[in-house]
Amino acid sequence: MSRKVSIAVEHFPIAGTFTISRGSKTEASVVTCRITEDGASGIGECVPYARYGETIESVVAQIESASADIQAGMGREELNRRMPAGAARNAMDCALWDLEAKKSGATVASRVCAKPPKPLTTAYTISLGEPAAMAAQAAIWSHRTLLKVKVGTPDDRSRIRAVRAAAPASDIILDANEGWTPRTLEMHFDVCVEAGIALIEQPLPSDDDAALASIARPVKICADESVHKTEDLAALVYRYDAVNIKLDKTGGLTEGLRMRAAAQALDLQVMIGCMVGTSLGMAPAVLLAQGADFVDLDGPLLLAKDRHHGLHYDGSLVYPPTTGLWG
């Protein structure tokens, strides 16, 4: 066995500007890890996220640090024991899954999905902005079954009402990105009930979410920044109704599969989400999302340009990846 690890940093322009409560960006910067062995090659993509203290440089350094062990034959389980959860491990873990599939001829889907994977209804994200601008975005995409709407200001009531009026038939997830407070929660709950919101994602900062355990939740609440790995789940049962599993947080598909099973065993609903990345980063998540309660894998739709052999989107549906892309 002779392995080689290579790393690349790539930048993909976003179609317009993507804005959440923490700021805006105009391009998606991703890190890819490629592992070659005996003529076969596997690849994985990750998106470093500043909210978790990650940068392009720190993630590349983490992959470089682990490369010698990978080249010496370290597999996914040992990688998960040695390396912390996060973007770097995600790229390496998914590259190993892809390499295993290429070497064995058995697709990742055949190994992780109980049934052949099917197209899934995915959310489409509406960026944070002024109410009229968000309503205009929502009107364009109102034909979609599910919209995910970025909020997270001290008072989002006018935004919520404007989007609902512009997309009366769509199911709506709100993502506050930790932007609300216990003091503003009740007034936002009231308008969410009025607007028929399906789910609210991470309304409070992760270090202030204990308040959710002691208040009535008239709308289901989903943890995002408060949950990274399987060990986090038990403490969230009384605070949240659902959890958002993102491979860049869990550190790869291996941990993502464990986390999904553990969440379902705790009667937590499951959302499979993503950072803003290419189809390569979404591909393993589409397989993980089979059977999930909510799917938010629209990253490539936000880009001006995607990869070759990218995921196929048709209306509200995202289709499983082809082996030309990954797995």
State which of 48, 83, 111 marks the end of a domain. Answer: 111
Other Cβ atoms closer than 10 A to 80? 20
Q: What is the mean pLDDT of the chain?
A: 96
State which of 70, 88, 111 marks the end of a domain. Answer: 111
Q: Using an 8 Å Cβ cutoff, are 316 and 141 in contact?
A: no
Q: Convert the pLDDT of each residue in 185-210 to its tens digit.
A: 999 999 999 999 999 999 999 999 99
Q: Which domain holds residue 28?
A: 3-111
Q: Name the band, by pLDDT with cuts 50, 70 and 90, for residue 1.
A: low
CATH number at residue 64: 3.30.390.10
3-state class percentages of the chain: helix first, strand second, coil last, to nearest 5 = 40, 25, 35
Following DSSP, what letter does each residue of 45-111 receive, concatenated? EE---GGGT--HHHHHHHHHHHHHHHHTT--HHHHHHHS-SSHHHHHHHHHHHHHHHHHHS--HHHH
Residues 219 and 302 reside in one and the same domain: yes
Contacts of 165 (CB under 8 A, 6+ apart): 135
Domain presence at residue 327: no
Q: Which pairing describes strands 221-223 and 199-201: parallel, antiparallel, or unpaired?
A: parallel
The predicted model gives 33-37 an average pLDDT of: 98
Q: Convert the pLDDT of each residue in 230-285 to its tens digit.
A: 999 999 999 999 999 999 999 999 999 999 999 999 999 999 999 999 999 999 99
| Pairwise CA distance, residues 87 & 30, whole Å | 10
Question: Which position has the token pair 């200001």?
Answer: 153
Residues 107 and 130 reside in one and the same domain: no
Q: What is the pLDDT of residue 323?
A: 96
CATH number at residue 231: 3.20.20.120
Q: What is the pLDDT of residue 99?
A: 98
Structural tokens at position 324: 């030309």
| Pairwise CA distance, residues 85 & 79, whole Å | 10
Q: How many domains does the chain have?
A: 2
State which of 50, 76, 111 marks the end of a domain. Answer: 111
| Pairwise CA distance, residues 267 & 245, whole Å | 15
Residues 219 and 237 reside in one and the same domain: yes
Q: At what angle do helices 157-166 and 131-140 cross, to 10 degrees?
A: 30
Task: Supply the residues annotated as catalytic.
Answer: 150, 246
Confidence (pTM) = 0.96
Alpha helices in the chain (DSSP H): 56-71, 76-82, 87-104, 108-112, 131-140, 157-166, 182-195, 247-250, 253-265, 279-288
Q: Is the pLDDT of residue 22 over 90?
A: no
